[in-house]
């Protein structure tokens, strides 16, 4: 399995606080059958985490890889960002400050929880017009997705992809989000499940339990597509598999 959304890089955002936290997260991931993690620090959040692409961000990725190698922890780390689609994000994209997942065509994006639906759709269209395919992080958590039943289909019709959080399925964000995540999954509109892990204690980097759950509750093939097949297609910059 490959985790395409994880805040494992130390001391950059509200994820791993330091290198030893990151190592513990990596060990947990490996014990859950995860072979690779795309490190996706929060990026472009106004007044908060910026984490624009820079050589120092690359150094942070390299430092984690070296620590894992030193400890013989068999986990591949790739670079990425979780890009907050604040006003003005296009300018940041044009300036080369935003990166895709492992230099693929796929960009992990998030909205303000109270984003307006029409604004969200317009931002997704703007990214697509730049030749990137947006992967919407945790759609099940946004207000507009919960309030408008057509929102999931609108985003998919535009060409966006959807990534459900492991925690949402397990009820970590409340009943409404749990229900919405299962609705998206059981209608086969989700393209990925990822951990969105922030620490080794809560919101942890594990996928085996949700993989098993989806395999049993919906379909074995779909479970594999969500945590293994499609994440690997992102790593290889290939067209993802639609169920
Ligand atoms: Fe995240």
- Is the pTM higher than 0.85? The answer reads yes
In a domain? residue 212: yes
In a domain? residue 54: yes
Boundaries of domain holding 8: 2-235
In a domain? residue 152: yes
In a domain? residue 66: yes
In a domain? residue 225: yes
Rounded to an integer, the average pLDDT of 129-145 is: 98
In a domain? residue 240: no
Whole-number average pLDDT of the chain:
97
**Rg from Cα positions in the chain:** 17
CA of 162 to the centre of ligand 1 (A): 13
CA of 192 to the centre of ligand 1 (A): 14
CA of 39 to the centre of ligand 1 (A): 10
In a domain? residue 241: no
CA of 85 to the centre of ligand 1 (A): 13
108 burial level (CB within 10 Å; 0-12, 13-18, 19+): buried
- Tally of domains in the chain: 1
Scored b (16 or more CB within 10 A) or e, 160-185 reads bbbbbbbbbbeeebeeebbebbbbbb
Q: How confident is the model at residue 243 (pLDDT cuts 50, 70, 90)?
A: confident
CATH number, domain of 46, equals: 3.20.20.140
CA of 6 to the centre of ligand 1 (A): 6
């Amino acid at each position: 399995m490959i985790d395409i959304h994880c805040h494992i890089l130390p001391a950059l955002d509200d994820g791993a606080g330091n290198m030893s936290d990151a190592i513990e997260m990596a060990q947990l991931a490996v014990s859950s059958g995860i072979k690779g993690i795309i490190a996706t620090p929060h990026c472009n959040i106004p007044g908060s985490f910026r984490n624009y692409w820079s050589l120092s961000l690359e150094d942070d990725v390299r430092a984690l890889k070296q620590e894992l190698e030193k400890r013989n922890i068999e986990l591949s780390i790739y670079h990425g960002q979780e890009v907050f689609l604040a006003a003005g994000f296009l300018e940041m994209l044009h300036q080369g400050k935003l990166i895709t997942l492992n230099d693929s065509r796929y960009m992990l994006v998030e909205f303000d929880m109270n984003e307006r639906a029409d604004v969200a759709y317009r931002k997704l269209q703007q990214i697509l017009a730049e030749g990137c395919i947006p992967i919407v992080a945790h759609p099940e958590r946004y207000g507009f997705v919960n309030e408008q039943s057509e929102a999931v289909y609108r985003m998919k019709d535009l060409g966006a992809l959807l990534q459900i959080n492991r925690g949402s399925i397990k009820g970590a964000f409340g009943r409404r989000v749990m229900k919405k995540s299962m609705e998206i999954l059981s209608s086969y509109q989700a393209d990925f499940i990822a951990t969105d892990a922030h620490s080794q204690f809560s919101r942890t980097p594990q996928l085996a339990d949700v993989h098993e759950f989806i395999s049993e509750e919906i379909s074995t093939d779909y479970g594999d597509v969500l945590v293994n097949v499609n994440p690997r297609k992102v790593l290889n910059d290939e067209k993802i598999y639609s169920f």
